[in-house]
Structure 1
Amino acid sequence: MMKNIFYKSLIGSAVLICSCAKNIEKIPLELTTIDYIFDSADSLGVNAERYLSGIYNTLPKGYNRVGPDLLDAASDDAVSSGTGSSDVFKLATGGYNSSTLPAPENMWGICYAGIRKANIFINNIDRVPLNKIVVPGFPKKHAYKAEARFVRSLLYFELIKRYGGVPITGDNVWVLGDDVKIPRNSFKQCVDYIVSECDAIEDSLRTITQTKATGEYHSITRGAGMALKSRVLLYAASPLFNGGNIESGNDKTGYTDVDNNRWKLAADAAKELIDRNEYDLVPTLFSDIFITVDGVNGKTNKEVILARLDSRSTAIEVNNGPVGFSPGTANGITSPTQELVDAFPMKNGLNINDPASGYDIGNPYTNRDPRLDMTILYNGHQWLNTSLETFEGGRSHPGNLNVETKTGYYMRKFMGPFEAQNNFSDQFHDFILFRYAEVLLNFAEARNEFSGPDNDVYQVLINLRKRAGIEEGADGMYGVSAGMSKEEMRQAIRNERRIELAFEEHRYWDLRRWKIAETAVNTALHGMSIIKGSSGRLSYTVSEVFTPMFATRQYLYPIPYDEVVKNPNMVQNPGW
């Protein structure tokens, strides 16, 4: 199977190069070769750069990639508004096996195909005289090779967070006839490999300043390599892999020992990037992060470390916006849960369950953390120049549509500023792979787990809440409680991570790496049923909408059936 993946990858990569260039069709597609792509006479490296663009296209996608759904609809943050046994429903209920894991999450072949593309580039780019073209401070050849190694490392991370230890291929590029029945490496070996790659390429990747200087705003930078290292080490230190191994003694499913120092390594990696002072939180609206692109209309966004580039469109709005407007305006596929809504504090920073918070069940969305308005569309929220109706029988919750909200909520995040407009217009919807807020939260979590809640940990929560628009308060703490224990701070950080990174494909994996999915996912999820009385008065009742299911084996995905059958050295994950 792997052999076929690698072979098809080579063919696909060559075709990609030809399809991107208007003039390459002079050479028939079937005659496009490695020698043509990496031509020693191509002084500008045109073909090699197009091949590198193809490697960039293997970066993970986000948004509505699980069929029409967000991955978060398989967590406790949302449910799909759709009906039937969709891919995301199967993920949420464990309705899959090694042969039927939904294609959007069966990343084995996709990642190894991308890894092979990167290896081809790494092994051949030195043929091309790109060293004659210098970007500020770097020969392009060095930077481009490092970028390919970054993509390869990120794809390995995408594999190990899903499957645990996987085969490491190094720089090998196999062809038909080669024996590729290689075993899985241990989880530790995979983590060590990815981290060593991040360290090795750090000085060869350009900085954010250098990529801006050449107009290559979406190129992989040194900051991206450091952010990847931070994330990998955070996962490696987390309970699922560091002490909570689902099969004790199995080095493929995690470490076989417990080492608290792994948290320090994760904290140090995040702090190293923070101390570079290259990135910062967007100081204005939280929602600006996701629709402001570097270099467009004079705007800059220092919070984005790396994003997968996409064209302008209304795809996010059409997929997820509320139903009930002009025909075809939106499909409303994502229904955020009451659990997510309740995670947002009040504007004074206090939890809604705190008696001093001022929370009013009769006006549940008043005086809340401003990020709620920028993440969730709720009854009475302004949208498309009107007041949203998600009460029972309302315009956007009529009760007679195949697809409409199941929870009384729709997703707002990532969408353009359409509160006071009549129609959608094209927006940039680049999928952010790494942003500075995540690095701050990585640091806070790892530092707290290693040594407890010190001033630096507190400052992360304060900075994020200050940017969000939460009130400072008389104590200057933005609602963050002073004197917390490690356990209390852990819950505060996890909640802040939940609301700050909602719908960015973190929650689904966080529940797993924290090893709390058996509790959090095997619990009924809720929505808000709103009844509008004859006098116009609204009554709010929390109601159960869906109960996902989770078994221990789901902490890791099954190795694809074909891989295990064709390779006797490929050991399956426990329970599959």
Structure 2
Amino acid sequence: MKIKMNIKLAIMALVLTTSCSDLIDPAVENIQRKDLIRERPSMVQGLLLNAYLRIPTNSYNFSEMATDDAVSNDLDNGFLNMATGQWASNFNPADRWNSANSAIQYLNEMLMEVGNTEYASKPVVNQMFMDRLTGETYGLRALFMYYLLQAHGGLAGGELLGVPIFLEPQTVDSDFNIPRATFEACMAQLYSDVEKALELLPMDYYNINNESLIPSKYREEGTGVNDYNRVFGDDAKQLVSGRIVQAIRAQASLLAASPSFNLDNDQTKWADAATYAGNLLNDIGGVSGLDPNGVTWYNNRSVIDGLGAGNNPPEILWRGSVGGPTNNLETQNFPPTLYGEGLVNPTQNLVDAFPMANGYPIGDPASGYTEDTPYANRDPRLAQFILLNGSTAGPTGVSINTALDSDTNDGLNKVETSTRTGYYMRKLLRQDVNLDPVANTGQRHLQPRMRYTEFFLIYAEAANEAWGPMASGSFGFSAYDVIKAIRERAGIGADNGDAYLESVKSDQAAMRELIRNERRLELSFEGFRFWDLRRWDADLTETAQGMRIENENEYSVINVENRVYQDYMIYGPVPYSERLKFSALQQNTGW
């Protein structure tokens, strides 16, 4: 009892000798006032870092599991529930509203604060830092506007709307109840941010060794090579550059030109998208710049393992850090016999989208496809991207048996980590990862935010719509040239000159379907299919199918999972919680 009384007296003494403000206010180390933050350049740049950390492509989310390309073997998976009828404005695994708007808030704070801090004592170097940081900020704000439009733009009350446009940081006194701007106004703001970023940023970051390479506006102020490299040199690689900003513009322009967001089929929007992508590709030599090793970019071991700090392989335009050694992707997606969870199960729908090696779709009489040997003489990418029955996998080359009567847990529906479709994902995974608990080893992985193949496909899609399959606008290559190069790289048509491509090269509609299919294959499992189907106003309800194999060679296609979407779901919803708070927000039709 005496001990308790002494403790109470000690606490009272502490309270009496401590001011009220010390008890209530956070410690200085925890929350910095703006005037103190401005004295620390690294803390100001932390505003920018907060936006970088919110980029959706920092990791894979496998939204393909909500499409006809894949299913999940985790029955609690959000995309599975979304695809099977639970998608709603208060349940949206594809939501980007809060994360993107939070990023924009930080970016708007950055624009307000960037000029209030000294980054270097030399005035011209200080100006270069401010220019770079401001350019990065505008570029990222354009990027997050693109993500918002992709996820939440749509028809509301007969009008195509985007999102509220915020150009200044919001405070407790701000009016948060702002209506959505039109889709066109949002695109205009995005393009404005792009132009401001391009005025301030170099095309690429790298160390120079000659003063003649310094822009005149800095050279005339006395900037030397060392000063320039300090700001725009190798240490800045993987920050937003002029090239990345051009790529953001190409992505956004394709969205704006697509059927769901181009209701009048304005051909100038297709031409704009082709031009923006074409300009980007011209800088790497056009079609000749297509990386010959770009199909297996995720498993080019010597390239990945030898990659220097900040450097990119030819296929990668922008990436996050090279993680390693890690095994997270393999833990998620290796089949059970390789100690994996088999999460992403490719569908028969996707398997059927791969043509034969001669280039013909499997449904074409000229293809040579037979149901008795469904994987023979197929597009080489099929076996590179999807683990088929009988494929070898893992560091020791284990044969994977996905049949219904398999004697391992890799078989169809054997255990909860088994495949539901008869297939496992192979793409993105390094087969030299070992998950055996006795000899566990990880490897380095590339995590691209943007690959050049995406922009070749953007160009092909837009150029075909704007000018037709064979025309090249102001560029020296056409949609046909791009698709021919991509298919040649994949190993298609080596024996027959890709006769199927030649048969459709003068047919815009047939070329459109081929381009869309090539995009489906080349960008599979990288988070594109869900968004592509919706921007194309395509069928979202194709049942996800699989393959049941018995007695070694008896093949039968099975229905695995229905896709339950309504027509209005080509546009995503405004979050229910936001509409409860802000009456000015108009919901997209149907939600």
TM-score by length of 2: 0.81
Aligned to 2:404: 392
Q: Is this contact kept in 1: 2:544–2:561, CA < 8 A?
A: yes
Give unmatched runs, 5+ long, in structure 2: 1-25, 154-160, 208-231, 472-477
The structural deviation recorded for 1:390 is: 0.5
**Which amino acid is 2:181 matched to?**
N
Q: Does 1:296 align with 2:287?
A: no
User: Do the aligned partners of 2:548 and 2:558 also contact (CA within 8 Å) in 1?
Assistant: yes
Q: 1:462 to 1:133 in 2, by over 3 A?
A: farther
Tell me the CA shift for residue 330 of structure 1.
Answer: 0.7
Establish whether residue 540 from structure 1 lines up as the match of residue 555 from structure 2: yes
Quote the Cα distance in structure 2 between the aligned partners of 1:366 and 1:194. Answer: 47
1:74 equivalent among 59, 62, 66: 66
Quick check: 1:177 aligned with 2:192? no
Q: 1:184 Cα deviation (Å)?
A: 0.6
**1:285 shift after superposition:** 5.8
Which whole-Å deviations, capped at 9, do the CAs of 1:301-334 have from their partners, x for residues lacking one? 1221122336321111111111123xxx210011
Alignment match, 1:412: 426
Match of 2:81 in 1: 90
CA contact under 8 A between 2:141 and 2:193: conserved in structure 1? no
1:552 aligns with 2:570: no
Per-residue deviation, 1:476: 6.6
Report whether the alignment pairs 1:265 with 2:287.
no
The letter of the residue matching 1:58 is: R
Q: Could you tell me whether the CA contact under 8 Å between 1:138 and 1:206 is conserved in 2?
A: no
Work out the number of aligned pairs and report it. 517
Match of 1:153 among 117, 132, 142: 142
Q: CA 1:290/1:307 → structure 2, altered by over 3 Å: closer, same or farther? A: farther
Distance 1:221 1:480 in 2: 38
Matched, 1:194 2:194: no
Q: Note the residue ranges of structure 1 that are not aligned, 5 or more in a row.
A: 1-25, 244-256
**Alpha-carbon distance in 2 for matches of 1:364, 1:133:** 68
Matches within 5 A, 1:233-252: 233-243=253-263
The one-letter amino acid of 1:572's match is Q
Matched-pair identity in % = 30
Structure 1 CA distance for aligned equivalents of residues 460 and 146 of structure 2: 21
Match of residue 579 from structure 2:
564
Corresponding residue SS for 2:559: strand
**8 Å CA contact retained: 1:78, 1:337:** yes
- 1:31 match: secondary structure: coil
Three-state SS of the structure 2 residue aligned to 1:98 is: coil
- Pick aligned residue for 2:547 from 521, 528, 551: 528
Tell me the amino acid that sits aligned with residue 172 of structure 1. Answer: E
Equivalent residue for 2:327, pick from 314, 324, 330: 314
Distance in 2 of aligned mates of 1:152 and 1:412: 34
Q: 2:506 and 2:124 mapped to 1: Cα distance? A: 48
Residue identity opposite 2:33 in structure 1: T
2:417 equivalent in structure 1: 403
Deviation at 1:28, TM superposition (A): 3.7
- CA 1:262–1:169 in structure 2 vs 1: closer, same or farther (change >3 Å)? closer
Kindly report the root-mean-square deviation, in angstroms, between the aligned alpha carbons of the 2 structures: 2.9
Q: CA deviation at 1:186?
A: 0.4
Distance 2:404 2:417 in 1: 14
State whether residues 131 and 139 of structure 1, in contact with CA within 8 Å, keep that contact through their aligned partners in structure 2.
no
Kept after mapping to 2: 8 A contact 1:59/1:308 = no
Report if the CA contact (8 A) 2:492-2:498 is conserved. no
Distance in structure 2 (CA, Å) of the matches to 1:302 and 1:203: 26
Q: Secondary structure at the match of 1:208?
A: coil
Residue matched to 1:282: 291
Give, in whole Å, the separation in 1 of the partners of 2:500 and 2:45: 48
CA deviation after TM superposition for structure 1 residue 443, in Å = 0.8
Distance 1:353 1:303 in 2: 32
Query: What residue number does 2:452 align with?
Result: 436
Greater shift after overlay, 114-123 or 300-309?
300-309
Distance 2:75 2:498 in 1: 47
Is the CA contact (8 Å cut-off) linking 1:60 and 1:308 kept in structure 2? no
What's 1:346 paired with? 356
Counterpart-to-counterpart distance in 1, 2:233 and 2:72: 43
TM-score (norm 1): 0.83
* 1:52 Cα offset (Å): 2.7
- Matches of 1:202 and 1:294, distance apart in 2: 33
* Compared CA separation, residues 297 and 169, structure 1 to 2 (3 A): closer
**Does 1:573 pair with 2:588?**
yes
Note closer, same or farther for the CA distance 1:265–1:74 as it changes in structure 2 (3 Å cut): same
Matching of residue 452 in structure 1 with residue 468 in structure 2: yes
Instruction: Select the structure of larger CA radius of gyration.
Output: 2
